[in-house]
Amino acid sequence: MHWLSRVALAAAALLGCGVAACGGPSWISTPAPAGMHECDGDELGSDDPPPGVRFVCTSLAVPLDHGLLPGPRDGRRLSLPVAMTDNATAPKGVLVWLTGGPGGPGVLSAGEVSSQLDPAVLRDYRLVMFGQRGTGPTALRCSRLQKEMVSALQSPPTGAVEDCAREIGPDRRFFSTADTVADLERVRELLGADRLTLIGASYGTLVAARYAVVHPDRVSRLVLDSVVPHDGLDPLMLDLYPRAADLLRQTCARTGCPSDPAADLAEVVRTHHNGPELLSALTSLSAKPRLTDLIAALREASRGDPGKLDDLLAARRKDQGSPPRVDEYSRGLNVTTSCQDMQGPWGGASATPAARVESARAAVDALPDQAFFPFDRATALENGTSATCQRWPETAVAPFPVGRDLPPVPTLLLAGERDLTTPLAWTQREAARAPNGRLAVVPGAGHITQNTADYGTTGRDIVTRFLTETGQNG
């Protein structure tokens, strides 16, 4: 396949040679993996690390097939980029930041992530980021989805999901979260670390939690920011609807509204049948000042004048701009991993599309209307996640042991007060599965509470205290 690396790199392992023999920069004081070099700007993305923070980069060769499925092993390998700060002897060990998506390449975010971390964290830990399989140089390519599906909650174009599965082919079975967890274990071996501290953001929380469940003795601490529950999410998105109503009403309680915005939204969905688009718009605007504009537009539309709402939705579509390059974000990987991880009403990834459609319809029909308010049954069936994964072909993927708690390591779970992408109920559900967990709801924050540019430093400060407190394991 054209998107797979065909270069077989030497096995990545810590070598016992000196720096000069390994070819690493002279300022690295400990043995370095082969091929390590000071990262350049192209490798780290457009954001520079903070002053005094330097990254070194290398490539990690991992098996395409980790042997997680029965049958003959596929011998091909993938080359994953890895970036790490140069403080190899950091007192609290290795901190791996796991980015969201799935679909975004990790190393390209290293400059941005390091700039948002507190200097105390960067001093105490060696920050490491790696490129998830199916991103960057190994990006899964689905031409129509990449071009036409700009939001995960947007209904996919007719035939585009099926085209995507055909473009990727049978290799799609190697791109579930179980494979990424196995890659993360190879990263740990590369670094020679006994245990890892993991920060997951959005989808990265799923990777972090599943790694902790599979390798409980190799984790020191967990930070889960904007949580996707590790047993998987519900494609019908039933937790989003009551949270959307709460958020609209809370906004009106602060700003003053002449009507119930949730009832206005329900009336617009009933008359215009545009629930998935409104769900996507509300999710993206939930933590922004423009939410008040949406509330006002919904009120007018519910009373027969959709002009302002049409203009707002058109402006939002324009603001989304052109689709990202596939090496910046792979919509193909997003769909592949999400649908193959998902435990929908149909069960797992081995269900046929016909069985998925039938099971989803039966699940929706069994629920009362109130379960979808202020949206409707069609929104549950036709939102992008649900509609896409109903069409994904049956695939044999590595199983995950559903039903296990997180290990009893110190775990911080963060939720944005105004986050609809990963609603509070998801974080609460995960917190109930964390024996040594602490839940923090960050006031005013939306998705990924440590985003200091949008939400200030509250989320970052909570994480800093958690990671730098005394008495940490490991």
> What are the tens digits of pLDDT across the range 238-253?
999 999 999 999 999 9
- pLDDT of 7 reads 23
C-beta of residue 153 within 8 angstroms of C-beta of residue 385: yes
Residue 47 sits in the same domain as residue 107: yes
Residue 183 sits in the same domain as residue 154: no
In a domain, 278, yes or no: yes
What is d(CA 175, CA 166) in angstroms, rounded to the nearest whole number? 15
Residue 206 sits in the same domain as residue 327: no
- pLDDT of 43 reads 81
Q: Per DSSP, what are the bridge partners of residue 38? A: 56
Name the pairing type of β-strands 126-130 and 196-201.
unpaired
- Three-state DSSP at 81 gives strand
- pLDDT of 15 reads 22
What is d(CA 422, CA 153) in angstroms, rounded to the nearest whole number? 12
In a domain, 7, yes or no: no
What is d(CA 251, CA 263) in angstroms, rounded to the nearest whole number? 14
Residue 422 sits in the same domain as residue 379: no
Q: Please give the structure tokens belonging to residue 102.
A: 């799935």
Q: What is the CATH number of the domain that holds 77?
A: 3.40.50.1820
**57: Cα within 13 Å, side-chain hemisphere:** 17
Residue 205 sits in the same domain as residue 320: no
Burial class (CB in 10 A: 0-12, 13-18, 19+), 52: exposed
Instruction: Tell me how far CA of residue 154 lies from CA of 87, 236, 313, 373, in angstroms.
Output: 43, 13, 13, 19
Q: What share of the chain is helix, strand, coil (3-state, %, to 5)?
A: 45, 10, 45
In a domain, 333, yes or no: yes
Rounded mean pLDDT of the chain? 87
What is d(CA 228, CA 5) in angstroms, rounded to the nearest whole number? 30
Q: In the structure, what pLDDT confidence band is assigned to residue 138 with cuts at 50, 70 and 90?
A: confident
What is d(CA 217, CA 195) in angstroms, rounded to the nearest whole number? 7
Residue that is last in its domain, among 367, 399, 431? 399
Spatial CA neighbour of 329 closest among 123, 149, 88? 149
Residue that is last in its domain, among 399, 420, 435? 399
Residue 34 sits in the same domain as residue 179: yes
Residues recorded for the chain: 474
- pLDDT of 471 reads 57
- pLDDT of 27 reads 28
To which H or E segment does residue 448 belong?
A: none
Residue 211 sits in the same domain as residue 358: no
Counted domains in the chain: 2
In a domain, 474, yes or no: no
Residue 45 sits in the same domain as residue 149: no
Q: Is the pLDDT of residue 362 over 80?
A: yes
Looking at residues 168-192, what average pLDDT do you find? 95
First to last CA, the chain: 42
C-beta of residue 292 within 8 angstroms of C-beta of residue 252: no
C-beta of residue 274 within 8 angstroms of C-beta of residue 268: yes
Name the least confident of 24-28, 369-373, 425-429: 24-28
Q: Is the pLDDT of residue 420 over 60?
A: yes
In a domain, 325, yes or no: yes
- pLDDT of 2 reads 25
- What pLDDT, in 10s, does the model give residues 206-233? 999 999 999 999 999 999 999 999 998 8
Residue 275 sits in the same domain as residue 382: yes
Q: Per DSSP, what are the bridge partners of residue 251? A: none
Residue that is last in its domain, among 368, 399, 430? 399
CA-based Rg of the chain, rounded to a whole angstrom?
A: 22
Residue 225 sits in the same domain as residue 290: no
- Higher pLDDT, residue 56 or 348: 56
328's CB contacts (< 8 A; 6+ apart) are 104, 105, 108
- What pLDDT, in 10s, does the model give residues 2-53? 222 222 222 222 222 222 222 332 222 334 556 788 888 778 877 788 999 9
What is d(CA 56, CA 28) in angstroms, rounded to the nearest whole number? 9
- What pLDDT, in 10s, does the model give residues 253-304? 988 899 999 999 999 999 999 999 999 889 888 888 788 999 999 999 999 9
Q: Scanning the structure block, which residue is given the tokens 């330097």? A: 54
Q: Scanning the structure block, which residue is given the tokens 């070099």? A: 37
**Cis previous bond, 235, omega within 30:** no
What sign does the CA torsion over 344, 153, 337, 335 have? positive
Looking at residues 358-367, what average pLDDT do you find? 96
Q: Please give the structure tokens belonging to residue 394.
A: 């049956």
How many helical (H) and strand (E) elements, i.e. helices and strands, does the chain have? 20, 9
Spatial CA neighbour of 78 closest among 130, 147, 19, 39? 130
Phi, psi (5° rounding) for residue 61? -85, 120
In a domain, 3, yes or no: no
What's the domain range around 338?
145-161+235-399
In a domain, 77, yes or no: yes
Phi, psi (5° rounding) for residue 343? -105, 80
C-beta of residue 291 within 8 angstroms of C-beta of residue 419: no
Residue 186 sits in the same domain as residue 264: no
Residue 251 sits in the same domain as residue 105: no
- What pLDDT, in 10s, does the model give residues 92-122? 999 999 998 899 888 998 999 999 999 999 9
Instruction: Tell me how far CA of residue 10 lies from CA of 13, 14, 82, 128, 184, in angstroms.
Output: 9, 12, 15, 21, 18
- pLDDT of 260 reads 96
- What pLDDT, in 10s, does the model give residues 431-449? 999 999 999 999 999 999 9
Other C-beta atoms within 10 Å of 323: how many?
Answer: 15
In a domain, 170, yes or no: no
- pLDDT of 151 reads 73
What percent of the chain has a predicted confidence (pLDDT) above 70? 91
What is d(CA 433, CA 449) in angstroms, rounded to the nearest whole number? 21
